[in-house]
Amino acid sequence: MSIKYGLLALLQRGTMYGYQLRTSFEESTGGTWPLNIGQVYTTLSRLERDDLVRSLPEHDGGQRPYEITDAGRAELATWFATPIGRGDRPRDELAIKLALALTTPGVDVPGIIQAQRTATMRMLQEYTRMKQRTAGPADLSWRLVLESMIFQAEAEVRWLDHCEASLARHAPLPTPPPATAPETVHDKEKTA
Amino acid sequence: MSVLELRDVHRIHGSGEATVLALRGVSMIVRPGELVAVMGPSGSGKSTLLNLAGGLDGPTQGEVAVEGTVLGGLNRKALAVLRRHSIGYVFQDLNLLPSLTAAENIALPLELDGVGVRRARRAALTSLAEVDLEGYAQRFPDEMSGGQQQRVAIARALVGQRRLILADEPTGALDSQTGEAVLRLLRAKVDAGAAGVLVTHEARHAAWADRVVFLRDGVVVDTSGPLAEPEHLLDGASS
Ligand SMILES: Nc1ncnc2c1ncn2[C@@H]1O[C@H](COP(=O)(O)OP(=O)(O)OP(=O)(O)O)[C@@H](O)[C@H]1O
Ligand SMILES: [Mg+2]
C-alpha cells in the first residue's frame, strides 16, 4: 500500500498544503500510520512530476497548496476500483519463519508458535481495547481500520492454531535429508 | 478478594484403560472486574475447567473457591443455592428448558432464589431487551433460531446480581455483529464488578478479556495480558 493514493484521496476533497495532508492522513487512519512531513513532500513532488497533482501559488503564510489533476482523479478512481492483490501486502515473514524453523534442526517449533500466538493475542486485546473507546459515526473510518487489524490478527491466531494441530498430527522428521523422506504420520489426536 | 480461585486443580475422568486426565494442575484467580478468556484445542479441558468453576463437577484433586467459599466443603443444597445466587452459566449446549418460554427460562433461577414472580419477570424482560430480544418473551426455545436461543441463554446468565459469569462458547451460533454485542454485554457486566470466565475458539472474542489463558492437554501453557502502552502497536502498523 502506498501514501500516494492516500494523498490523492485527500486532495480529491479539496486543495490542501503539506502539513494539512499529513494531519488529515493520520486522522483518517486513526494514527495507525504516522507520516513524517518529509514523506509527504517527497510523495507530492513525485505526484507533481507525474501530473497527478499540481502546486498552486503560495499563500501569504508561505504555505503552498496542492490540487488534484484530472489524471490524478482518474488514477485514484482506478485504485478504488481495483482489488488489492496479496502480493501488495507482504506480511508473510511469519510463514517463512515457520517454514524455515520446521527444516532447521534444534528449533522449538511449537515454542515459536505459542510465543507468536501469545504476542498476536496481546495485540488483538489492545486493538479491541482501542475499539471499545471508539464511539459514534465520527469514528467510523478509524473503527474500520482497527477492525481490519483485528480480523487480520484473528486470522493469524487461527492459522497458528492450525499449524500447531498439523504439527501434532504430522510430526516432522528431526533432520530431514534432502532426498525424499518416507511419509510418517503420528496420529496423536483421537478426535478431529 | 477473588471471586473465583482454582488451586492446583486436577480432574480425571473415567478409570483404568479409559482414564482421561482432563485437567492436570490448573491454578487461576479471577478478581472482580476481571474477564478471563480460556482458549485451547478441542478436548484440552476448557469445559471441564468451567464445570469445576461453576460447581457442576468436583475436582479429583485441588480446590475450587467461589467468593472465598471452597465448593468441596458445601453440601448439595448449599452448593445449589450458591450456584443459583452467585453464578451465571452459559452452557455450551445452552440447556434451556423446552417447556418454559424465554422469559420463564430467565426468571426461573431468580424465583428459585426467592425473588417475587413479578420482580423476576421484570428482570427477565430487561435482560431480554439487553440481548435485543424484546418481543420474544413468550416464545418457547423451539420457536427461536439457534442464535436467538443462545441469546436467551446469555440473558439468563446475566440476569440479577450474579458475581461470577461463566460462559462456554457463548458466541458459537451468532453472527459477527451479534457475537460482538454479547461480548460488550459481558464486558459491561464485568466492568460493573462481576468476574467472568469465557471459553471461546475465537481469538477476536477472547480479545475482550483482560487475560487469555491457553490450555493444552489439561495444562495452562501460556497466559496473555494486554500491553501497558498501546503506542507500541501503532509503530508496527506503519511498516
Ligand atoms: N464425563 C466424561 N467422561 C470421560 N471423559 C470426559 C468426560 N468429559 C470430558 N471428558 C474428556 O476430557 C477431555 C476434556 O474435555 P472438555 O470437554 O473439557 O474439552 P473442551 O476443551 O471443552 O473441548 P471442546 O472445545 O471440544 O468443547 C476430553 O478428552 C474429553 O473427552
Ligand atoms: Mg467444551
Asked if B208 has any chain A CB less than 8 Å from its own CB, the reply is yes
- Report the predicted TM-score, pTM, of the whole model to 2 decimal places: 0.77
Write the pLDDT tens digit of every residue in A83-103.
Answer: 666 555 555 677 777 777 777
Phi, psi dihedral angles at B75 (to 5 degrees): -80, 170
pLDDT value of position A137: 73
Taking residues A149-172, report their average pLDDT: 86
Taking residues A141-159, report their average pLDDT: 90
Residue B237 lies in a domain: no
Question: Which residue range is the domain that position A112 belongs to?
Answer: 93-170
Note the helical H segments in chain B.
Answer: 46-53, 76-86, 102-112, 117-130, 146-158, 176-191, 203-206, 231-237
What the block records as the C-alpha cell of A6 is: 492516500
Same domain, A55 and A100: no
Question: Which residue range is the domain that position B196 belongs to?
Answer: 4-226
Asked if B209 has any chain A CB less than 8 Å from its own CB, the reply is yes
Same domain, A97 and A59: no
- For the cut 50, the answer to whether the pLDDT of residue A183 exceeds it is no
pLDDT value of position A124: 92
Give the residue from B211, B233, B235, B239 with the most A CB atoms within 10 Å of its CB, the best one to mutate: B233
CB contact (8 A) between residue B214 and residue A118: yes
Taking residues A163-184, report their average pLDDT: 63
Domain stops at, among A18, A48, A81:
A81
Query: Which residues of chain B have a pLDDT value below 70?
Result: 226-239
Burial of residue A88, with CB atoms counted within 10 A of its CB: 0-12 exposed, 13-18 middle, 19 or more buried: exposed
CB contact (8 A) between residue A129 and residue B222: no
Pocket perturbation via mutation, ligand 1, pick of B15, B19, B21, B44 by most ligand atoms within 8 A of CB? B44
pLDDT value of position B69: 93
Same domain, A102 and A162: yes
Q: Is B83 in the pocket of ligand 1 (CB under 6 A)?
A: no
pLDDT value of position B181: 83
ipTM surpassing 0.85: no
Beta-carbon contacts of residue B130 (< 8 Å; ≥ 6 apart): B155, B158, B185
Same domain, A77 and A103: no
What's the mean pLDDT when you consider all of chain A? 80
pLDDT value of position A182: 47
Residue B238 lies in a domain: no
In this prediction, residue A192 has a pLDDT band, given cuts at 50, 70 and 90, of very low
Give yes or no for a contact between A165 and B41, defined as CB atoms under 8 angstroms apart: yes
Residue A123 lies in a domain: yes
CA pair distance B139, B104, nearest whole angstrom: 10
Among B182, B162, B170, residue whose Cα is nearest residue B93: B170
In this prediction, residue A184 has a pLDDT band, given cuts at 50, 70 and 90, of very low
pLDDT value of position A84: 64
Of all residues in chain A, the percent with pLDDT exceeding 70 is: 81
| Total domain count, chain B | 1
Write the pLDDT tens digit of every residue in A38-83.
Answer: 999 999 999 999 999 999 988 777 788 999 999 999 998 887 777 6
Which of B214, B221, B230 is the closest to A126 by Cβ? B230
CB contact (8 A) between residue A165 and residue B41: yes
CATH number, domain containing residue B56: 3.40.50.300
